């Protein structure tokens, strides 16, 4: 068994300065699994309604994503609608319909329980913990969370944080979680809560990795054209965890390599609506942009 | 002759979340010249009033800064007062007194006119142009500017932009100058205005270099404690131009090295009030942090 992801599968309606799309495949687990599938075998845990288009199922299958854990419940699929400002700087949520996602309690198929790598996308921290209860001996567990849980379920969140190796989180939420403005101070604070590894996502400004012994920072890959930032963070996480699973390691070099890979997959993700860019992505393009990223930050000798 | 800088020399009063200081040495040319003096010989062009403390003159002299071009005019030195928000994210100007700076017209001492490297700090673009008129054959000229000139003197600014090799500017101002949100598009636009090199300063998020053939990006050096961000951009420019002058070159590697050096000097600058950190900085510390910066962004092999 390889990489299990648990999280939302959604139908998104998105308006960006470039255009709009209705009811396209979205949700953290979708972005994560399609991205990570470029690097490793992914098993998805999620829920959709009886309106979920077969075309999306086909896409997952084409990417080799194991859908044994994708429950189909009576009712409608989780729907989200949002609009980005002209400079992409702010996003307004226009509509959220949890639908079948509201009462979903993730359960792992028996075939998933030997998973070595686990990503708990942004859902209720207690549900994240339940998933961990069902996995026998994971080698590496990472999670995401958001302001909603940081403020609303701090006790439950702390319980789950104690059980993961890595937290992958937005910069603003890292500061909120730690109650600290300075990022090094926030990282220290968060690492005392449990995760030995913190990855801070900074959107167009890149990402930073903090461990006991290492700090690693990368700028984002510069893009001539951004189309839709939705799912960039989950595509980052997909590249990150995919690389950890591909290497079968989480030492310092593996973690750095994972951040670089996440930077690359995140950059592809925003180049088209939803998963339109990532779904057509070849491994050659992935590794080529990764080389370009290494060139981007190459500091010459003195 | 080496590196000439023209710009403001000021007395700053600064309030930050860490504390406050009154009438400390400030101004773009001060930050630039003290920083660049770690790497090359600097000649300053500026003006101060008859109230300018001798201790500041002594500091410049200790750093080997040539003050032949520092005019002392009857009246008071340029004064600026500002306050930073608790998270350092915003800065409020509390007071600006141009004083002797208001009517100053920079003139170069004859000994400066063979200068090879020139930095035109943020002053009226026509004055920046006047300085260039007086320099026989500069090898490399860089300039800074700000929203005030972009909006207020666009024609004069474009005249000066045509005459420089490099523009070193804040990200927000780069977007404003180009009228473009996407940074690659903004860079292309600005480079058609004259400068073959654009360096975009992103504060705590680092810097990006754009040339015809190269794009180079670095995150900022992570700091455990920020004390006073005033002058960070000018300290960046000082490290950048100091490195160009030290190398005597502006090829791709020299430019990348200069951005790395600016990242390092900018990071030291904010660790204490005004120039308090930079004034005590040794070359060994500079080069040591530069190595740490290279380690910070090292991407391992696949």
| pLDDT tens track for A52-73 | 999 999 999 999 999 999 999 9
pTM of the model: 0.97
Rounded Cα–Cα distance for residues B3 and A297 (Å): 27
Q: Give the CA dihedral B25, B49, B41, B119, nearest 10 degrees.
A: 90
Which residue, A135, A111, A130, A125, is CA-closest to A161? Answer: A125
CATH of residue A157's domain is 3.40.1190.20
Closest Cβ opposite residue B296 in set A87, A215, A300 = A215
Closest Cβ opposite residue B297 in set A184, A217, A226 = A217
Sequence-separated (6 or more) residues with CB below 8 Å from residue A82: A12, A13, A14, A15, A91, A92, A93, A94, A230
Element (H, E) at A169: strand A166-170
Q: What is the pLDDT of residue B268?
A: 98
Q: A interface toward B at CB cutoff 8 Å?
A: 86-88, 181-185, 202, 205-206, 208, 215-220, 222-226, 253, 256-257, 260, 287, 290, 293-294, 296-300, 302
* Residue A134 phi, psi (nearest 5): -90, -5
Q: Structure tokens of A107?
A: 């359960």
Q: Which domain holds residue A249?
A: 3-296
Closest Cβ opposite residue A297 in set B218, B223, B226 = B218
3-state helix, strand, coil in chain A (%, to 5): 40, 25, 35
Q: What is the mean pLDDT of residues B224-229?
A: 97
Residue A46 Cα, gap to closest chain B Cα (Å): 31
Which residue, B279, B262, B282, is CA-closest to B55? Answer: B279
Contact at CB, B208 and A223, closer than 8 angstroms: no
Residue B66 Cα, gap to closest chain A Cα (Å): 26
Q: What is the mean pLDDT of residues A224-233?
A: 97
Check pLDDT > 70 for residue B231. Answer: yes
Q: Structure tokens of A178?
A: 């730690």
CB B165 within 8 A of CB B196: yes
Contact at CB, B257 and A287, closer than 8 angstroms: no
Confidence of residue A109 (pLDDT cuts 50, 70, 90): very high
Contact residues on chain A for B86, CB-CB shorter than 8 A = 181
B301 belongs to a structural domain: no
Is ipTM over 0.90?
A: yes
B44 belongs to a structural domain: yes
CB B128 within 8 A of CB B120: yes
Confidence of residue A2 (pLDDT cuts 50, 70, 90): confident
Q: Structure tokens of A224?
A: 């001539």
Q: Structure tokens of A290?
A: 């990764």
Closest Cβ opposite residue B226 in set A87, A182, A257 = A182
Which residue, B39, B83, B84, B48, is CA-closest to B69? Answer: B48
Q: Which residue has the tokens 């208001």?
A: B102
Contact residues on chain B for A223, CB-CB shorter than 8 A = 182, 184
CB A28 within 8 A of CB A7: yes
Rounded Cα–Cα distance for residues B33 and B121 (Å): 11
| pLDDT per residue as tens digits for the range A115-149 | 999 999 999 999 999 999 999 899 999 999 999 99
Q: What is the mean pLDDT of chain A?
A: 97
CB A125 within 8 A of CB A159: yes
B302 belongs to a structural domain: no
Residue B228: Cβ-neighbour burial (10 angstroms; 0-12, 13-18, 19+) = buried
Check pLDDT > 90 for residue A76. Answer: yes
Residue A217 Cα, gap to closest chain B Cα (Å): 6
A267 belongs to a structural domain: yes
Report CA-CA distances (Å) from B40 to B128, B236, B259, B280, B283.
Answer: 22, 15, 16, 16, 11
Q: What is the mean pLDDT of chain B?
A: 97
β-strand partners of A197: A166
Residues for chain A: how many in total?
302
Rounded Cα–Cα distance for residues A213 and A29 (Å): 30
Contact residues on chain A for B239, CB-CB shorter than 8 A = none
One-letter-per-residue 3-state SS of B8-46 = CCEEEEEEECCEEEEEEEECHHHHHHHHHCCCCCEEEEE
Report CA-CA distances (Å) from B286 to A216, A295, B243, B277.
Answer: 19, 24, 12, 12
Contact at CB, A206 and B205, closer than 8 angstroms: yes
Q: What is the pLDDT of residue A302?
A: 87
Check pLDDT > 60 for residue A1. Answer: no
B279 belongs to a structural domain: yes
Contact residues on chain B for A86, CB-CB shorter than 8 A = 181
Closest Cβ opposite residue A300 in set B87, B88, B256 = B256
Contact residues on chain A for B180, CB-CB shorter than 8 A = none
Closest Cβ opposite residue A217 in set B184, B253, B296 = B296
Chain A CA closest to residue B206: A219
Portion of chain A with pLDDT greater than 70, in percent: 100
Contact at CB, B206 and A219, closer than 8 angstroms: yes
Q: Structure tokens of B264?
A: 């390092």
Q: What is the pLDDT of residue A208?
A: 98
Residue A32 Cα, gap to closest chain B Cα (Å): 21
Residues for chain B: how many in total?
302
Q: What is the mean pLDDT of residues A260-268?
A: 98
CB B117 within 8 A of CB B246: no
B64 belongs to a structural domain: yes
A301 belongs to a structural domain: no
Conformation bin of residue A88: beta by default, left when phi > 0, alpha when psi is -120 to 50: left
What does DSSP assign to residue A278?
G
Contact residues on chain A for B183, CB-CB shorter than 8 A = 222
Query: Do β-strands B42-48 and B3-6 pair in parallel, antiparallel, or remain unpaired?
Result: parallel
Q: Which residue has the tokens 């770690």?
A: B38
Chain B CA closest to residue A257: B300
Portion of chain A with pLDDT greater than 90, in percent: 98
B217 belongs to a structural domain: yes
Q: What is the mean pLDDT of residues A239-264?
A: 98
Residue A26: Cβ-neighbour burial (10 angstroms; 0-12, 13-18, 19+) = buried
Confidence of residue B2 (pLDDT cuts 50, 70, 90): confident
Which residue, B119, B193, B187, is CA-closest to B156? Answer: B193
Q: What is the mean pLDDT of residues A15-27?
A: 97
Q: What is the pLDDT of residue B302?
A: 87
Closest Cβ opposite residue B299 in set A215, A297, A300 = A297
Contact residues on chain A for B223, CB-CB shorter than 8 A = 182, 184
Rounded Cα–Cα distance for residues B117 and B140 (Å): 5
E-assigned strands of A192-256? 197-201, 207-210, 215-218
Burial call B276-297: b when 16+ CB within 10 Å, e when fewer: ebbeebeeeebeebbeebbebb
Domain total of chain A? 1
* Residue B178 phi, psi (nearest 5): -85, -15
Rounded Cα–Cα distance for residues B1 and A299 (Å): 28
């Amino acid at each position: 068994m390889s990489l299990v992801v648990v999280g939302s599968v959604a139908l998104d309606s998105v308006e960006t300065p470039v255009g709009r799309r209705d009811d396209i495949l979205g949700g953290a687990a979708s972005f994560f699994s399609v991205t990570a599938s470029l690097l490793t075998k992914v098993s998805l845990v999620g829920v959709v309604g009886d309106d979920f288009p077969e075309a999306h199922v086909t896409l997952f299958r084409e990417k080799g994503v194991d859908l044994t854990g994708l429950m189909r419940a009576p009712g409608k699929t989780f729907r989200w609608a949002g609009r980005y400002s002209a400079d992409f700087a702010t996003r307004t949520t226009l509509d959220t319909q949890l639908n079948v996602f509201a009462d979903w309690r993730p359960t792992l198929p028996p075939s998933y329980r030997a998973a070595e790598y686990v990503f708990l996308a942004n859902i209720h921290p207690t549900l994240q913990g339940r998933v961990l209860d069902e996995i026998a001996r994971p080698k590496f567990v990472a999670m995401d969370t958001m302001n909603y849980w940081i403020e609303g379920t701090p006790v439950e969140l702390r319980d789950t944080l104690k059980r993961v190796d890595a937290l992958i989180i937005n910069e603003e939420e890292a500061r909120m979680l730690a109650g600290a403005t300075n990022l090094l101070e926030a990282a220290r604070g968060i690492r005392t809560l449990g995760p030995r590894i913190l990855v801070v996502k900074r959107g167009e400004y890149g990402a930073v990795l903090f461990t006991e012994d290492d700090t690693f920072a990368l700028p984002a890959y510069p893009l001539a054209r951004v189309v839709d930032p939705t799912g960039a963070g989950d595509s980052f996480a997909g590249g990150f965890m995919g690389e950890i699973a591909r290497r079968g390691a989480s030492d310092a070099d593996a973690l750095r390599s994972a951040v670089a890979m996440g930077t690359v997959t995140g950059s592809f993700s925003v180049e088209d609506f939803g998963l339109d860019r990532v779904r057509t992505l070849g491994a050659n393009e992935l590794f080529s942009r990764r080389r370009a990223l290494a060139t981007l930050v190459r500091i010459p000798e003195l």
